[in-house]
Amino acid sequence: MGLLWQSEDNRFSHLVELYVQDSSKNRGGIKESLIGEAQKLLVDKIGLECLLHYAPILDQYGFFVGGPWEKADKLQPRLVRGTLMAGGDMAAAEAISNLRMLAVANENYYAPSIPKELAKGYLDEVIAANLDVLYVPETEEARIKGSLVPKEIRLLFEFIAERHSSPDILAFLTDEIEKLSVQRPIITDKIEKLIASGIASTSKNQRENTKFHSFEKALMAPSQLAEQYGKNYMEALARSPENALYKEAEQLCRSMKETGIVSMFHVNLIVFAAASYKLDLVRKLLGLSKEGFKRLDKHAELVKKIIETAIKPETKQTVYSLSRLLERDIFTGNFVEILEELLNTEPCQAVERKLIAVYGDSGIPAETYLLAGTVSVLGQPLGIGQGFNPCCQSTRALSYWAQKNPVFLLELILEAVKRENIIFPFEGHLIDSSFLPVRDLDFTIPMDPVSAVLVPLLDAIYGNMIKRAGFRGGDIHKVINPEFHRQGVLSGFADKYHNGDFSSLFYRYYHPDFSNIKISGHLPQPAGIIIYSQDDSALGAHAILIQRIGKDPSGEVRVYFYNPNNDSSQTWGKTIKTSVAGKGELEGESSLLFDEFLHCLYAFHFPN
């Protein structure tokens, strides 16, 4: 292998030659110069090709000896991004190490201490851990928001992914997609990015007849007509006979119900059906039950307006939310009246600016996002997610109201949309969010439109309640929860640090074998849990909703709960891992065995 690399800058290749030939103490200085030059080569693919070419030579001549990259079997794939983000010499050495592994995986370099399968498995994990930064378009909007990982890091991951195609990557992707999709989140950006990354980093043959392919089809071509006509889909619908349209609706419905993923074709068909007043076709597409269809039939004009206003390509997931909403028995006179008022309400300029900041100035009216968000939170109360924002109390409250008091939630949305402020009573006083400091959220993390508008205001109200309540000799949520949630919170309260009979109280009121009280009629109820580390040290408190108590398929009693985090599949302690599927969970629920949940529980409400 020749040492002279044919590129515009031969300084790096010259330094490699000096490094190889020099065995004196000067080698350390040459190594420092090499790393400095390597940093300059990380900025484009020509430079990365150069580093890939020389990484094996550097490895052979002890470049990694004595450093954290020496033993390939000890490398930590999930630490790669952090090291690269740190920049400087460490980042350059990390990049060269990963390119060395790429050379081994592609059989361009034989290293006795690095088996090919080890290198391939390592790169599989590196790619899987960094899929969120792969293939992201570099837009001005993203730059302003600061959502992009530095270009050099994204470029390196792309470079590796383009040259390391392994079906094993699909296993990582599929597991992550399944785990997220089964929870039926309102915001599916991450799921769609994972699918796009899988398509970009593997060949079509690798994806055929895999579970991943079913998710790919759900997003890209969920029906025969979609697969056959693609961009000409609307024209195909217009000339299709009734029986073909119903078959199409059934296929799209099946895909949506099985995966929770909505495609552009769902949007096209439901808009087509609504415009043609084909209620049966809407019913078929949404997969409505007899009761759901009765609501659709009774409120046909309202649903048609919702479809026309709220369902666009940018809000396509609303199709699924609408199907869930029509199955809920909440269409009272007040509910319909306020929903119609919201349909005809133009948001104030402050709310409009906020939504543009979150979703971009794409020309989609703010009313579209607001109505889509309203349908989403009412149709999928357990699909509301806080992202990484520290707002679990407010996100939990949205889910609580969407479940127990949807009319109040609609009133709250309407109030915020008109004036960008809300007013809450607290112990005889009124708290007006317009007089409070309102902290904005990190909108680079996807949130639904209702959360984007309401959560900052709710956080301000909640914080003021905490301030007003002060110290009262126990957990302050005994006072805050009933006031903040407005109605339905049970008056009894216990916390682990002030109630010696805490565990027995929870058994007495919540365990079906010990309680004479039908707690189910009072659920959901707010509760507080402590998340523990692997060594059982307390990491912090978190707000959840206890949804129900029941026996799982194996007959064990479990607590089923709503977790405001976007991904509710989590480790809460040394041996405690929450379940999101397979243990009797309903859509959007998490669960733990009763005693595991009790171990993490620190505060709950009960009938007094």
The 10s digit of each residue's pLDDT in 9-37 is 578 999 999 999 987 777 888 999 999 99
Poorest-pLDDT segment among 33-37, 117-121, 197-201, 282-286: 197-201
The answer to whether 177 touches 194, Cβ cutoff 8 Å, is yes
pLDDT band at 344 (very low <50, low <70, confident <90, very high): very high
Q: What per-residue confidence (pLDDT) applies to 137?
A: 38
pLDDT band at 140 (very low <50, low <70, confident <90, very high): very low
| Most confident stretch, 154-163, 289-298, 473-482, 528-537 | 289-298
pTM over 0.85, yes/no: no
pLDDT at 141 over 80: no
pLDDT digits (tens, 9 = 90+) for 410-433: 999 999 999 999 999 999 999 999
Q: Which of 376, 362, 388, 259 is CA-nearest to residue 317?
A: 376
10 Å CB burial of residue 404 (0-12, 13-18, 19+) is buried
CB count, 10 Å around CB of 423?
15
Q: Considering Cα of 522, then 528, then 530, then 531, what sign does the dihedral take? A: positive
pLDDT band at 226 (very low <50, low <70, confident <90, very high): very high
Q: What per-residue confidence (pLDDT) applies to 97?
A: 96
Q: What per-residue confidence (pLDDT) applies to 5?
A: 44
CB count, 10 Å around CB of 68?
15
Q: What per-residue confidence (pLDDT) applies to 128?
A: 79
Q: Token pair of 456, please?
A: 């900052």
The rounded distance, in Å, linking the Cα atoms of 536 and 531 is 9
The answer to whether 466 touches 488, Cβ cutoff 8 Å, is no
Percentage of the chain beyond pLDDT 90 is 73
Q: What per-residue confidence (pLDDT) applies to 170?
A: 83
DSSP 3-state percent helix, strand, coil across the chain (nearest 5): 60, 10, 35
pLDDT digits (tens, 9 = 90+) for 571-593: 787 788 899 999 999 999 999 99
The answer to whether 255 touches 217, Cβ cutoff 8 Å, is yes
pLDDT at 318 over 60: yes
The residue type at 222: P
Q: Which residues of 439-456 are buried (b: 16+ CB within 10 A; e: fewer)?
A: eebebebbbbbbbbbbbb
pLDDT digits (tens, 9 = 90+) for 546-571: 999 999 999 999 999 999 987 777 77
Pairing, β 423-426 against β 429-432: antiparallel
CB count, 10 Å around CB of 435?
10
How large is the average pLDDT for residues 86-112?
94
> Peptide bond preceding 241: is omega within 30 degrees of 0, i.e. cis?
no
